[in-house]
Amino acid sequence: MDFESKILKNDSFPLLLGPCVIESEALLYEIARKLEQIFQKLNQEDLMDGVVPVFKASYDKANRTSIHSFRGPGLEAGLNALAKIKADFGFPVVSDVHEINQVKESAEVLDIIQIPAFLCRQTDLVASAASTGKVLNIKKGQFLSPPEIKNIVDKCKELNNHKVFICERGNSFGYNNLVVDMRMFEQARQMGIRTVFDATHSCQMPGAGGDRSLGNSHFAPILARAAVAAGATGLFAETHPNPSEALSDGPNMIPLSNLEEALRDVLLVRKLFLNNKKETLV
């Protein structure tokens, strides 16, 4: 079964994991090797049923607070690095596209095209991504209510792309703070929309550092467990071996050494939820 068939199954659970930005190929390989080890362990513990691992890293972080912030290697070098990860580890890959002129080239490498939260209502960009026929992970803007995500999905459906996940990453709650409304997952389910929960960006404190964002990664595993219990159908989380030295979003990333425990807890919650659901149907 190919990747797309796996991820579009009703009971699939995509896990989008990796660093915020491509800092170097060495970093990508370090994280990919660790993810491979983690997934092997979790599979032995019978926690990977329906789980679809996806490697995430951004080739360009265009939405930075400061013009001096590190953005990544750019489109060509970044896609080449992700292609190597795909070839060497067998992971499907996902990255952000920020401009229409990035879409065609990105679609040649990426298995999932991601639309950043600030751009989720940019019709031409969403339409261009949808027209590729690729699976889409569209970040829900911090300014949108849950019912408004239907308009985004409808744009994709108009272009005959039904392979859409909406990614929850918190709503603005005053200045420099985000709060996750867990009701969103049930509201999306009622609209027939599949959801991915962004555990790490939901812990971000946008612009709180003046020329950079801050965050509190301590809450990421807690929110991830809550979101899965509330009905999220996938998980997105950024990780790094040394978050304090990361070139982007370090304060809200899960340390790579803590990732296995965090994922185990999330997947145990999912397994309990699925088992209870099966018992109810009997």
Distance from C-alpha of 34 to C-alpha of 29, rounded to nearest angstrom = 8
Among residues 162, 109, 100, the alpha carbon closest in space to that of 136 is found at 162
Residues, the chain: 282
Distance from C-alpha of 131 to C-alpha of 103, rounded to nearest angstrom = 10
pLDDT in tens, 162-178: 999 999 999 999 899 99
Question: Mean pLDDT of all residues in the chain?
Answer: 94
Mean pLDDT confidence for 171-189: 94
Distance from C-alpha of 246 to C-alpha of 93, rounded to nearest angstrom = 21
Map tokens 């397994």 to a residue: 271
Burial class (CB in 10 A: 0-12, 13-18, 19+), 268: middle
pTM: 0.95
pLDDT in tens, 36-90: 999 999 999 999 999 999 999 999 988 878 888 889 999 999 999 999 999 999 9
Token digits of residue 18: 């990796």
pLDDT in tens, 137-154: 999 999 999 999 999 999
Question: Which pLDDT belongs to residue 282?
Answer: 46
DSSP for 140-155, written as a single string: PPTT--GGGHHHHHHH
Token digits of residue 26: 């060495």
**Cβ(250)–Cβ(243) below 8 Å:** yes
Map tokens 């829900």 to a residue: 140
The domain at 3-281 falls in which architecture? Answer: Alpha-Beta Barrel (3.20)
Question: Which pLDDT belongs to residue 274?
Answer: 84
